[in-house]
Chains A and B, each alone.
Chain A
């Protein structure tokens, strides 16, 4: 998973490429590089953050170029393995996001034919394939090279012989074209281009794009022209700036009341049931990865209790290996970016199995929207921090809406109850604000536990899923080893790990599992581990049984996960800040995982 960017225009390419790479840094940042057409092809690359690269750069003024920021898959992060790569003659440079599956075999063949390899990457095979096919036209050479390639990719290439041209190809990995005046752009993602243009062309799988300052041409692998209309995106660059917050993650945590409100906006009164959920399936299967998977686990309870539809949850990355049952559930796929390779793969597999599919994503026009029958957008706005926050709670809000719609269409949800639920959903942004108002208190607590080596999160029912998300946030950004257990599972093993130095975060809100949770807290207390209890506002009893209590507003059982999650996000954030970890860009992680 990497970020790529290309420019063909009339201004010096270098500063434009570097600026765009900074905006793509969330996609990977263990090494970076650029290639600019100037007296042939010049390449500069280095290990580490983009600022490392910038430090040693000459002032090239060439007006065509490509750039790359890398997240290592094949070969460790190093200067040699950084993109772009030269061909043997140094006349072609190429950068790639994705994986070449047959690279080992290709590499042996190419070496046999006399090509020299300077890196351990799969990408280098592509540039040599292009070299072999190059007869003065780069797009023809790239098309020919792709014929022998299997895998996922978004590729950018430039050639010394064609100094005003950048050529690109896409299969599975994201790629967009930005349209300017006498200049055009290519990038992995829209935010990289917002500074320059809001007119965007989405490139589809198995398409080749050629940009020059004056033209953008899309062709298929057989060389036939494809017509496509540009779309205007409504994001502004300011959305991508931190606005006084120390980290994007904190900014995004504080944007949650608005994100949830926008997700619910105008949809509460939608009565025009369009029949999508009415009939034709017996159950629901939720598929997702990472944080979205935790939203899906909560979603199971939501769908089963509101819409009374039996629901299963599976990791999208495991779905294809599961047995193919005969029944055909409605498959709901959740992906913040809509570009998660595992989730896209699962969408195709679900279709292959004959299931109706619904995608839930935050990104308009993302690949998931094309791989599913219907799309529901969370409207959380752009999320930059690698650790998902507002898109998670927006996914929960979307799942409540789906459940209400499904229950209404299937007649399993009483209209009066549906009305009550909608009114309670309306109060969610407010409850989240109440939690955010306690940030100082959470910070104080998190700082006092930030030196822990291990941490445990426990909860029952849907709060087991919420605990998993809380533990994931803690791991991701603070690097504290954190584990989540269902309350009842502690005594089946993990209790052995508890000492006076392992803080335990227990979700013990006043829901149906409250009493059972309190006895689990008792088990922890007996081992002398400090307990941070999360309870319902006004529950004064909790303080007697835990070392520290934090509170969320009282809601019906099903709605607790939203405010509890926000509390756990703050807890992880402040623990990480105390530890001084790079919160917005944790090591080895990338925002959107476009490899399987």
Chain B
């Protein structure tokens, strides 16, 4: 059986984190979110994968190539205009026959969820999951064990069961897809609703993982989740008097300087320079080619590739996207925060700063909890940033 992974979307709600990366390539535990879906499928013996790509497709193709490195055989279908997930599935129609899986590439699913779906039997089926905030997702109404409807983001959800973004379908659905697209229904749930009127779609509850990446702070949850499973693998150079506690992974060519104290789970990529005297708390991911200078403290955060973090910085529950350069003394502390995405306010239990790629932060900057700083901004020395800063802004 083949699987079609929908990976074409930009993920506008992820804000500055998708300024040049497709959403599915955002790293959690130093691996793109999409890789976990690929891994979950391969673990279930599903090796023939169709990746539907679009926005910044080269980033995905450069990483996954023909799938060999991941034990898979990958074909690519290009979705020229990213109208929606159903339109993406349609673009893969020539590459599938008979029954196939459809996976939303930007959710974190594990092998267990895939197994549960496959073992539930033949015929159309989908994974449903429980959510504490169903109003943010597609809420699934059931009739017995079967799906009745999916309602997208209802104001008053009728249940806490939401769409897991993992479907077992059959190529015979494509004739239904075409008229839906013509009527302007571009998302897979529209297909489920149309199909539910004609056939029975099993709703499969899973004990596996389903974690959606919808908003930028979801990344911290995903990151902590995948780090909980890491082992210990340390290469590179670890200088004298470095303390490593818990599970810590350190990549090739990295140097951890004296006096650095790392509490796992933490993963440090390749070619990094950390320290001296840096402290890292769980659950932290440091990408490749990152430099963290003396006396900085990092806590439950994601620093993507090529980040430069100058001395005496404090980064907590924060995300610094690729290429962020901090001169020194950044204060990005965490607290209960109100964050704004696409005009909507969200209350987040504990959040620091979210900083977009290639932004340059000069000395002594304070970024208040819940602030979202865009990509390619320049934040002048001793600035105080509160709220959202659009891409490319100069803050003096």
Contact = CB atoms under 8 A, between A and B. Distances in A.
Interface of A: 236-239, 241-245, 250-251, 254-255, 258, 261, 264-269, 423, 426-427, 429-430, 433-434, 436-437, 439
7 tightest CB-CB pairs across the interface, nearest first? A266-B253, A243-B65, A238-B68, A244-B76, A244-B61, A430-B323, A265-B253
A393 to B, nearest CB: 15
B106 interface: no
B43 to A, nearest CB: 19
A261 B68 contact: no
B57 interface: yes
Contact of A236 (B68, B75, B325): B68
Nearest to B75: A244
8 contacts: A242-B65, A244-B74, A266-B252, A266-B255, A423-B291, A430-B358, A433-B20, A437-B56
B323 A427 contact: yes
Contact of A245 (B61, B74, B273, B289): B61
A266 B270 CA distance: 8
A552 to B, nearest CB: 13
B306 interface: yes
A365 to B, nearest CB: 20
A236 B66 CA distance: 12
Nearest to A537: B376
A254 B237 CA distance: 29
Contact of B308 (A264, A266, A423): A423
B308 A243 contact: no
A257 to B, nearest CB: 8
B128 to A, nearest CB: 32
B236 interface: yes
A426 B64 contact: no
B66 A241 contact: yes
Given A241-B66, A243-B62, A244-B53, A434 B236 contact: no
Contacts of B308: 423, 426-427
B198 interface: no
Contacts of B30: none
Contacts of B241: none
B10 interface: no
Nearest to A436: B58
Contacts of B156: none
A563 to B, nearest CB: 13
Given A244-B61, A266-B252, A433-B20, A426 B69 contact: no
Contacts of A261: 270-271, 288-289
Given A238-B65, A242-B66, A268-B273, A427 B325 contact: yes
A238 B66 contact: yes
A241 B65 contact: yes
Contacts of A237: 68
B236 A266 contact: yes
A444 B260 CA distance: 49
- Summarize A's interface: helix, strand, loop or mixed: helix
A251 B66 contact: no
B323 A433 contact: yes
B74 A243 contact: yes
Contact of A243 (B66, B255, B270, B305): B66
Nearest to A252: B62
B391 interface: no
Interface string B62-89: 1011111100001110000000000000
Given A243-B62, A436-B58, A269 B255 contact: yes
B283 interface: no
B58 A266 contact: no
A244 B306 contact: no
Contacts of A243: 61-62, 64-66, 74
B20 A437 contact: yes
Interface in B43-65: 51, 53, 56-62, 64-65
B322 interface: yes
Interface in B318-374: 322-323, 325, 358
B275 to A, nearest CB: 11
Interface string B129-168: 0000000000000000000000000000000000000000
A236 B325 CA distance: 35
Contacts of B323: 427, 430, 433-434
B91 to A, nearest CB: 14
A255 B61 CA distance: 10
Contacts of A251: 61-62, 65
A238 B70 CA distance: 10
Contacts of B273: 268-269
A237 B252 CA distance: 22
Nearest to A439: B58
Residue of B58, B62, B288, B322 ringed by the most chain A CB atoms within 10 A: B62
A505 to B, nearest CB: 23
B65 A426 contact: no
Given A241-B68, A427-B306, A265 B358 contact: no
Contacts of B288: 261
A439 B62 CA distance: 14
Nearest to A553: B358
Nearest to B60: A244
A95 B323 CA distance: 52
Question: Which of B67, B76, B288, B306 is most buried by chain A, counting CB atoms within 10 A of its CB?
Answer: B306
A176 to B, nearest CB: 22
Interface string B280-315: 000000001101000000000000011010000000
Contacts of A269: 237, 255, 273
B68 A244 contact: no
A237 B291 CA distance: 33
B270 A265 contact: yes
Nearest to B64: A243
A237 B305 CA distance: 27
A23 B236 CA distance: 34
Contacts of A265: 252-253, 270-271, 289
Nearest to B61: A244
B276 to A, nearest CB: 12
A238 B69 contact: yes
Contacts of B62: 243, 251, 254-255, 258
Contacts of A238: 65-69
Contacts of B237: 269
A277 B13 CA distance: 53
A436 B57 CA distance: 12
A264 B271 contact: yes
Contact of A244 (B57, B305, B325): B57
A429 B323 CA distance: 9
A280 to B, nearest CB: 29
Interface string B249-261: 0001111000000
Interface string B234-251: 001100000000000000
Contacts of B60: 244
Interface in B18-51: 20, 51
A236 B291 CA distance: 30
A255 B322 CA distance: 16
